[in-house]
Structures are given as structure tokens and as C-alpha cells.
């Protein structure tokens, strides 16, 4: 077979195969009846398709393959972008300073546990700092918080000037120590012009005075020196109805209460100062003296020696016979502490009464002498009567 006849057939078949491949690659519509095109037209169509892909606007990405046709479009989620680390927000740790607050600096006078005598008057001074954010003015004051054990005035003005925040001030107050021995404390706060109280730290903690009251030992109450201040009466039995003037005549028929000195006692001794209490001049006559009030302290003892003045030579004191009594009076209540019948036996009788049960109570000591029958020779005396600890 001639070669010129074979080659056109091969070329034609290759061309047709190329056209089929191009049609498949260009996703042309389904096969339909058309007029066969020439090779030039096919190349022109292919070129136009490529040019259209470069010139048409960008389209949104196709929905996922799993999306159901006709369903609402699904918005594509963009890929997560790593977040840039941001510094954590730190809450402020600064606590606002309150308007009114006190800071204790030091005790200027009377530091804690200072020892004072009963009833001693003293001046307490603190150095305080204005630790708040508001100024202290003349309207601010010192006030007692709780029990007022030192008889403090209810309100003490701080100062005439102004104390700025951070400034200090010496605050003073005059106080009186309790009469009773022991340890004592009293708390104080400051008050603003409206009366609102404040103090240390969180504003409610007080500052204070703390002392020890020490009752001195030895003689604490001398009945001889206080006898003129006592209330004296006489009578018969339990009927005490006759007031007496202290220091009256020895032979006063209503009885006698007075200080005697340098007299001979039934034991033969010459006395110092003694208290004579002669009962009313009747059978079963009585005399009584009620002394000024006394606050009993721990360790107090009432001591005295009981006896008679000698009324004749040789220390003779006759037929005197009396009942000595010691009591304490609180209000209108009289409590008897002890009684002793005494006759003239040439000796003085010692008495020592422990007052511990009365500690902390204010009492009036009462001395009584009762005639046991006749009042004759009843020159009863109280020798060295006192309270000591």
C-alpha cells in the first residue's frame, strides 16, 4: 500500500482522539447533536474557556460535599488563628485608708502596770498618730469605752488646732486611782464631731490605762484620830436615843465619849491616848459610836486592847463589868463582828479581827459598850484601836 495513502488515515485518527480528550477536559455539556467543527474552531473554543477563567470575578468557596442540596448555606469557619498572649489583669491590692483611724505611738506618762496608791490622782498622756485620711479638728474628743474605773470626765477635747493625716498629738486626761488595791484597766477611744467612735487598727480597738493600786501596809485607819468625827449616841438596852457631844464631861449622866491620855490602866500601865466610852448612867446603859466610812482592803485586820481605867489606888478599877461589841454598818444594816465581856482583872484583853470577808466593801465600824447591870465603875477604854494590814 502506498505510504501517501496510509499517513492521512493515521493523522485523522489522532486528531479525533485529541478532540475527544479536549472535550472531556473542558467539562462540556452532555453530548447533543451538533455540527462537527473543524480543528481551528476547537482550538479557538479552548482558548476562550481559559481566558474566561482568568477574567471572571472570584467566587466564594463551594459548600462542603456533605451539604444537602436546598439546605441553608453553611458558613465556612475560618481556621483558628493562635491568640497572642495578653498580660493578665491583676486586681489592685491597695486597701483604701479609712477616714478615721488611730495609731498608738507611746505612753508619755503612766506606762502599763504603774503602781499607784489608793485614791491617787494622776495624769495619763498618750502620743497618738492620725493614721486615717481625714484631719482631726477641735470637734474631736477622747471618750471612755466601757467601765469608767478611774472616774474620768465623760468627754475631753483633743486640741484647739488641726492634726493632719500622719501627724501626731499628745492626748492627756486627769484620772483617779480606785481606793481598792488591785490591777485596773480602762479603755478609751476617740470620737468625731458627730459622736462616732473610732480607735486603733480597724477603727474599733481601744487604747488604755492599766495600773496597779498598792495599798500600803501598816496603819490604815486610826480610830483615835477619827473618834471626834464619829456619831455618838447613848441609851438603854437596844434603845439608843440620846445624841452625845464628843469630848463631854467625865461625869455626864448621858454617858461620855472622849480621848484620855496619861491615865493609869487596870494593868498598871500609864496610857498613851485611849478612847473612853462610859455608858449612860442607868442599869444596862449603853453607848455607841459609828465611825466614818472605810473601804476594806485585802489583809486588813482590826486590832484593839480592851480594858478599864483604874479608879482607885493599886490599879483598883472597882466593880466595872461591861460587854464590848464591834460591828460594821452598811446602810441601815448592822452586822456584829464580835463581843467580849470584860471585868476588872488587871489586864487588857487583845482583839484581832480579820476583815477579809469584807474586802472591797465600804463599811462604818461601830464601837459599843453595854453595862452588864449597874453602870458603876464602867470606865471602859479602847486602847490603840486601829486597822492595819
Q: Which residue ranges make up each domain of the chain?
A: 102-213, 219-388
**What digits encode the pLDDT tens for the residues 65-77?**
443 334 444 444 4
Percent of the chain with pLDDT over 90: 64
Mean pLDDT over residues 316-332, rounded? Answer: 92
What does the mean pLDDT of the chain come to? 81
Q: 11 versus 254: which is more confidently predicted?
A: 254
What pLDDT was estimated at residue 387? 96
What pLDDT was estimated at residue 159? 75
| Architecture, CATH, for domain 219-388 | Sandwich (2.60)
Q: 195 versus 78: which is more confidently predicted?
A: 195
Q: 19 versus 138: which is more confidently predicted?
A: 138
Least confident of 1-5, 262-266, 326-330: 1-5
* Conformation bin of residue 173: beta by default, left when phi > 0, alpha when psi is -120 to 50: beta
**CATH superfamily, with its number, for domain 102-213:** Immunoglobulins (2.60.40.10)
Q: Burial level of 342, CB count in 10 A (0-12/13-18/19+)?
A: buried
Q: What is the distance, to the nearest Å, from the Cα of residue 275 to the centroid of all Cα atoms in its chain?
A: 50
What pLDDT was estimated at residue 201? 85
**What digits encode the pLDDT tens for the residues 20-76?**
444 444 444 444 434 444 444 433 343 343 343 434 444 444 444 443 334 444 444
Least confident of 61-65, 268-272, 277-281, 285-289: 61-65
What pLDDT was estimated at residue 215? 79
What pLDDT was estimated at residue 110? 97
**What digits encode the pLDDT tens for the residues 104-161?**
999 999 999 999 988 899 999 999 999 999 999 989 999 999 999 999 998 999 877 8
The b-or-e profile of 64-99 (16+ CB within 10 A means b, else e) is eeeeeeeeeeeeeeeeeeeeeeeeeeeeeeeeeeee
Amino acid at each position: 500500500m502506498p505510504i501517501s495513502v496510509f499517513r492521512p488515515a493515521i493523522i485523522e485518527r489522532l486528531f479525533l482522539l485529541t478532540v475527544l480528550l479536549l472535550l472531556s477536559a473542558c467539562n462540556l455539556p452532555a453530548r447533543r447533536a451538533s455540527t462537527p467543527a473543524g480543528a481551528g474552531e476547537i482550538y479557538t473554543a479552548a482558548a476562550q474557556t481559559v481566558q474566561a477563567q482568568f477574567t471572571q470575578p472570584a467566587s466564594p468557596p463551594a459548600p462542603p460535599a456533605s451539604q444537602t442540596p436546598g439546605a441553608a448555606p453553611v458558613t465556612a469557619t475560618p481556621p483558628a488563628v493562635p491568640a497572642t498572649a495578653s498580660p493578665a489583669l491583676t486586681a489592685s491590692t491597695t486597701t483604701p485608708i479609712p477616714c478615721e483611724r488611730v495609731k498608738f505611738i507611746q505612753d508619755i506618762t503612766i506606762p502599763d502596770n504603774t503602781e499607784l496608791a489608793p485614791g491617787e490622782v494622776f495624769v495619763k498622756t498618750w502620743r497618738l498618730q492620725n493614721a486615717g485620711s481625714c484631719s482631726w479638728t477641735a470637734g474631736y474628743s477622747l471618750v471612755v469605752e466601757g467601765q469608767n474605773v478611774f472616774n474620768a470626765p465623760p468627754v475631753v477635747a483633743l486640741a484647739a488646732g488641726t492634726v493632719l493625716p500622719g501627724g501626731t498629738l499628745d492626748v492627756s486626761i486627769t484620772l483617779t486611782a480606785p481606793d481598792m488595791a488591785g490591777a485596773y484597766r480602762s479603755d478609751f477611744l476617740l470620737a468625731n464631731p458627730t459622736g462616732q467612735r473610732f480607735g486603733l487598727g480597724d477603727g474599733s480597738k481601744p487604747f488604755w490605762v492599766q495600773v496597779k493600786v498598792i495599798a500600803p501596809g501598816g496603819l490604815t485607819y486610826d480610830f483615835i484620830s477619827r473618834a471626834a468625827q464619829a456619831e455618838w449616841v447613848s441609851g438603854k438596852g437596844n434603845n439608843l436615843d440620846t445624841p452625845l457631844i464628843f469630848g463631854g464631861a467625865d461625869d455626864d449622866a448621858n454617858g461620855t465619849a472622849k480621848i484620855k491620855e496619861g491615865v493609869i490602866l487596870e494593868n498598871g500601865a500609864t496610857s498613851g491616848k485611849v478612847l473612853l466610852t462610859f455608858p449612860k448612867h442607868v442599869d444596862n446603859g449603853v453607848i455607841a459610836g459609828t465611825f466614818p466610812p472605810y473601804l476594806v482592803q485585802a489583809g486588813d485586820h482590826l486590832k484593839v486592847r480592851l480594858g478599864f481605867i483604874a479608879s482607885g489606888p493599886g490599879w483598883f478599877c472597882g466593880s466595872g463589868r461591861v460587854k464590848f461589841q464591834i460591828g460594821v454598818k452598811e446602810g441601815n444594816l448592822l452586822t456584829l463582828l464580835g463581843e467580849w465581856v470584860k471585868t476588872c482583872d488587871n489586864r487588857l484583853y487583845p482583839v484581832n479581827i480579820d476583815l477579809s470577808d469584807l474586802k472591797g466593801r465600804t463599811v462604818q465600824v461601830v464601837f459599843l459598850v453595854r453595862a452588864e447591870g449597874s453602870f458603876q465603875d464602867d470606865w471602859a477604854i479602847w486602847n490603840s484601836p486601829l486597822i492595819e494590814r
